[in-house]
Amino acid sequence: MEKLKIITVCYNTPELIEPQYKSFVKNISDDFEYILYDTTPTHESTSGYTNSVIEICNRLNIRRIEIPHDTYRMVSKEGEVYFPNWDTSQRAGKGITFAVQHIINEGAERVLLVDIDVFAIKNIRVSDYYSYDIVGIPSVRIDRYNENLIYFTNQIFLVDVTKIKDKRMLDFGPCMINETNLDCGGKLYYLLKSQPELTYKAFSNKLQEDPSNEFLNTPEILEFRRIDYEMINNHIPQVNDYIEIFDYSLLHFRSGTNWINLNENSTRVSHLIGFLNKINK
């Protein structure tokens, strides 16, 4: 069986690379290669992080691939060339699509795409999901004709590349369909529409679906959840946890790249890293 390819894109948080990589090494039982796609050099607001990314990847022997600046090049209806640096969904979609297409062109058969703010906190065997063509986090929008527009978001996405007829349709860009905005991953709607025979399964956020689970209520996890909730709730009032824990094993530290401009984000990330060091020791 071919080695699983785990890919992620670093935008502006080199401090998350090492805890993510080490959490995967400790908890993912499959044979895998972890590849980091680095978009920090593509914009002046993030270029200061590039040396840190290079140092971390060299020290941990992580393969680093730099995303070319022209990946973000767009042309307006008037023919004007521009770079959508203000649009986080466009930038994320273009960077992720480059990474996915690059690893496919290298011959990858199984690809696990994860956001840089996803961490393994419990043992997981990714190959247990291999009976499905796609496993991810689905999103549904309802258009003007009351039709469900189903696609997968970019946080965690496992795909059997061999089952995809047109590999170019693995496009994570946002789009508008029937006057309805679909965010990052929206263009995957066209893939699912063109191949209805594809089998897929959803990762389940167990904090919502199994809140009384013993593991999710251990003292370390409860304390982490409480403090993170308080930090987020000061800025964005929450009813439930802001973080997500999928299938008891994969923690999604939502807004870890701080696209919501949370003032306390550095403190929040420090709290996360402390928790991961404790739970993954």
- Which CATH architecture fits 4-203? Alpha-Beta Complex (3.90)
Listing DSSP states for 209-245 in one string gives H-TT-TGGGSHHHHHHHHHHHHHHHTTS--SS-SSEE
Q: Which of 85-94, 115-124, 197-206, 249-258 has the lowest mean pLDDT?
A: 85-94
Cβ atoms of residues 97 and 169 within 8 Å? no
For position 71, what pLDDT does the model report?
A: 78
**What are the pLDDT digits (tens) for 205-260?**
999 999 999 999 999 999 999 988 888 877 776 667 889 999 999 999 987 776 55
Residue 37 β-bridge partners: 9, 65
Domain boundaries, the chain: 4-203
Q: What is the pTM of this model?
A: 0.92
Cβ atoms of residues 8 and 114 within 8 Å? yes
By CB atoms closer than 10 A (0-12, 13-18, 19+), residue 86 is exposed
Across residues 152-160, what is the average pLDDT? 97
pLDDT confidence bin for 272, thresholds 50/70/90: very high
Tokens 């996890």 belong to residue: 221
Query: How confident is the prediction for the chain on average, in pLDDT?
Result: 89
| Residue 76 scores a pLDDT above 80 | no
| Residue 264 scores a pLDDT above 60 | no
For position 215, what pLDDT does the model report?
A: 95
CA dist 278 and 3 (Å) reads 29
For position 172, what pLDDT does the model report?
A: 96
For position 229, what pLDDT does the model report?
A: 86
Give CA 47 to chain center in angstroms: 21
The C-alpha R_g of the chain, in whole angstroms, comes to 19
Instruction: Please indicate whether residue 70 or residue 158 has the higher confidence score (pLDDT).
Output: 158
159: left (phi over 0), alpha (psi -120 to 50) or beta: beta
Sign of CA dihedral 7, 46, 234, 230: positive
